């Protein structure tokens, strides 16, 4: 999840909105997944 957050941050810094949105969705999905596993 740290990788996807970093990806989102770099995408936002580069003014690339589409990859930033996708990586944030991946981050949120992974967060729910790991929460569900515990």
What's residue 17's pLDDT?
77
Q: Confidence class of residue 4 from pLDDT cuts 50, 70 and 90?
A: confident
Q: Which of 5, 2, 30, 7 is nearest to 19 (CA)?
A: 7
| pTM score of the predicted model | 0.60
What is the number of domains present in the chain? 1
pLDDT at 37 over 80: yes
Boundaries of domain holding 12: 2-37
8 Å CB contact between 5 and 38:
no
CA separation for the pair 33, 18 (Å, rounded): 23
């Amino acid at each position: 999840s740290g990788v996807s957050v970093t990806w989102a941050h770099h995408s936002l810094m580069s003014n690339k909105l589409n990859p930033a949105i996708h990586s944030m969705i991946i981050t949120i999905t992974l967060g729910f997944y790991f929460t569900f596993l515990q």
